[in-house]
Amino acid sequence: MNGAHDLGGTDGFTLPQREAEGPILKKEWERLVWGLVWSLRVPGISRGGRAAMEQSIPPALYLSLPYYARWLYRAEQSVLESGLVTVEELENPDGPLSVPDIPDFEPPGPEIIVDGFLASDFCAELDVDLPPQFSVGDAVIARNEHPVGHTRAPRYVRGRRGTIHLDHGVHEFQDQLPPGVERKAQHLYSVMFTGRELWGSRGGSKDRVYVDLWDDHLQAVA
Amino acid sequence: MADDKPAQADYDLRTRALVSVLTRKGLVDPAAMDAVVEYHERQVGPHIGAGLVARSWVDPDYRRRLLADARAVAREENVTGFQSTDLVAVANTPSVHNLVVCTLCSCYPWSVLGLPPTWYKDSAYRARAVIEPRNVLREFGLDLDDEVEVRVWDSTAEVRYLVIPQRPPGTDGMSVEQLTALVTRDSMIGAETLAVSGQK
């Protein structure tokens, strides 16, 4: 979707100062939110983090929220939409609570969340033998598509001509697909675009932007 | 609460309410929450990436393997993790400068750098790094020569990028441990180059 999260090339923002190295989670609520979003792996509400999170926040709100407040908003939305928690319960957290309808549910502990997930040797490249549609060096065009669902093809590359720089192997396609369309694994590439191709005369003649795109995002140059 | 009311809400109160309700309902294990923060604050961090970089400066074979297949090298050293096992290393040289961004979100190589700094997640950085990387770098204090090629890596998939900065001058004879201490977080994102302290 053409959401506010798709920021590449947007003008008008003021760059912050780079902060010194040190703790990233600075406030207690930020630590709680971060711990919560990764521990909240309850059947029915643990959805793909980025895809679900970015596109469900209204654009004006998205741009106004600090980073961890976006996670908080999304966590609230998830548990409310799934019916596990009600607005009344969040407004009166010490009051009476309904019992969630998940028989025999045990919340996952540290060994499942950290050792088994966050720190695991999880590899996105799939061990699947599929022929690539493109080879390194091929000229390609990023398809000019504007799907209503989540897509990993940023607006600024659509319709632009690039060159296959690396083949990352076979990955799960991450775009949201229309109902009934089967998700198929496919090759993922690093595609090089020149600054001039992306930004016209404003693009630097020695600037290159490399974007990770899947087979279905690309078409061959005729 | 979860409506469209902008920013002024009390994040602290909202967070406590959410955590309290989910904990009381038995949907979240507070020990898991603590462990997540502990993992991201203490176990992973830029010291891990710095170790890989420093070794690449002193061991040409290691550098060659790191640039060819960073994932394999990281796995040998048990540097893995959700959304950062698929690692690609890119090297700065006198003629090429690399910069990493995620324009759609804030994807970042957690396993080698820990959680991303605030500036990396800022809308301004995400918006501008791809269209005017040299201006961004200049505002960050790095004025690149016009002849240097700038390569911006937009992390739009599950692959994560680690910049191998150039080894600073005047560091001949230093141990890997001493070199590791010179490597900054921001240099491994491409936001700065390295100088020995006192130079620059």
Please state which of the four CATH numbers 2.30.30.50, 3.20.20.60, 3.90.700.10, 3.30.420.40 is assigned to the domain occupying A139-220: 2.30.30.50
Whole-number average pLDDT of chain B: 93
pLDDT at residue B199 in the model: 44
pLDDT at residue A211 in the model: 98
Q: How confident is the model at residue A183 (pLDDT cuts 50, 70, 90)?
A: confident
- Nearest by CB to A206, from B2, B124, B148: name it: B148
pLDDT at residue A110 greater than cutoff 90: yes
Distances from the Cα of A202 to the Cαs of A80, A156, A181, in angstroms?
45, 14, 39
pLDDT at residue B32 in the model: 97
- Whether residue B200 lies inside any domain: the answer is no
Q: How far apart are CA B152 and CA A204, in angstroms?
A: 12
A28-119 fold: Cyclin A; domain 1 (1.10.472)
pLDDT at residue B197 in the model: 55
pLDDT at residue A103 in the model: 80
pLDDT at residue B187 greater than cutoff 90: yes
pLDDT at residue A62 in the model: 93
B79 alpha carbon, distance to own chain's centre: 14
Q: Does A1 touch chain B (CB under 8 A)?
A: no
| B74 and B122 belong to one structural domain | yes
Q: How far apart are CA B119 and CA B127, in angstroms?
A: 12
Task: Kindly give the pairing relationship between strand A218-220 and strand A139-142.
Answer: antiparallel
Q: What is the pLDDT of residues A117-164, one digit of tens each?
A: 999 988 899 999 999 999 999 999 999 999 988 999 999 999 999 999
Average pLDDT rounded to a whole number, residues B158-181? 97
pLDDT at residue A49 in the model: 52
pLDDT at residue A222 in the model: 80
Cβ(B124)–Cβ(A138) under 8 Å? no
pLDDT at residue A35 greater than cutoff 80: yes
Q: Does A122 touch chain B (CB under 8 A)?
A: yes
| B32 and B90 belong to one structural domain | no
pLDDT at residue A99 in the model: 83
The closest of A40, A121, A212 to B100, measured between CA atoms, is A212
Q: How confident is the model at residue B160 (pLDDT cuts 50, 70, 90)?
A: very high
pLDDT at residue B200 in the model: 40
- Whether residue B195 lies inside any domain: the answer is no
Complex ipTM value = 0.95
Min CA distance, A170 vs chain B (Å)? 11
- Whether residue B118 lies inside any domain: the answer is yes
Active-site position among B20, B56, B84, B107: B107
Q: CB neighbours of A130 closer than 8 A, spacing ≥ 6?
A: A170, A185, A186, A187
| B35 and B126 belong to one structural domain | no
Q: Does A166 touch chain B (CB under 8 A)?
A: yes
Task: Kindly give the pairing relationship between strand B149-154 and strand B96-101.
Answer: parallel
Average pLDDT rounded to a whole number, residues A22-42? 93
B161: containing domain: 45-188
- Establish whether B197 is a catalytic residue: no
Q: How confident is the model at residue B8 (pLDDT cuts 50, 70, 90)?
A: very low
Taking the CA atoms of A9, A14, A20 and A21 in sequence, report the sign of the dihedral they define.
Answer: negative
Q: Does A132 touch chain B (CB under 8 A)?
A: no
Q: How far apart are CA A113 and CA A14, in angstroms?
A: 37
Please name the amino acid found at residue B139: E
| B11 and B72 belong to one structural domain | no
The domain limits of chain A are 28-119, 139-220
| B88 and B117 belong to one structural domain | yes
pLDDT at residue A48 greater than cutoff 80: no
| B91 and B32 belong to one structural domain | no
- Whether residue B194 lies inside any domain: the answer is no
Q: Does A48 touch chain B (CB under 8 A)?
A: no
Q: What is the pLDDT of residues B97-137, one digit of tens each?
A: 999 999 999 999 999 999 999 999 999 999 999 999 999 99
Average pLDDT rounded to a whole number, residues A50-66? 78
| B37 and B122 belong to one structural domain | no
- Could B140 and A18 be called an inter-chain contact, meaning their C-beta atoms sit closer than 8 Å? yes
Distances from the Cα of A60 to the Cαs of A50, A106, B7, in angstroms?
18, 37, 10
Q: Where are the alpha helices (DSSP H) in chain A?
A: 28-39, 49-56, 59-64, 67-81, 87-91, 110, 195-199
Q: How confident is the model at residue B7 (pLDDT cuts 50, 70, 90)?
A: very low
Q: How many percent of chain A have pLDDT more than 70?
A: 95
Q: How confident is the model at residue B1 (pLDDT cuts 50, 70, 90)?
A: very low
- Establish whether B175 is a catalytic residue: no
pLDDT at residue B6 in the model: 42
How many domains does chain B fold into? 2
Q: How far apart are CA A185 and CA A135, in angstroms?
A: 17
Average pLDDT rounded to a whole number, residues B55-81? 95
The closest of B74, B81, B62, B88 to B160, measured between CA atoms, is B88
Cβ(B140)–Cβ(A207) under 8 Å? no
Q: Which candidate in B40, B83, B96, B138 is best for mutational testing of the A interface (most A CBs within 10 A)?
A: B40
**Which chain A residue has its CA at the smallest distance from B24's CA?**
A97
DSSP class of residue B93 equals: B
| pTM across the whole model | 0.94
| B164 and B114 belong to one structural domain | yes
Q: How far apart are CA B107 and CA B88, in angstroms?
A: 14
- Establish whether B102 is a catalytic residue: yes
Which one is predicted more confidently, A98 or B186? B186
Q: How confident is the model at residue A101 (pLDDT cuts 50, 70, 90)?
A: confident
The torsion angle over the Cα atoms of residues A143, A144, A148 and A153, rounded to 10 degrees, is 50
- Whether residue B84 lies inside any domain: the answer is yes
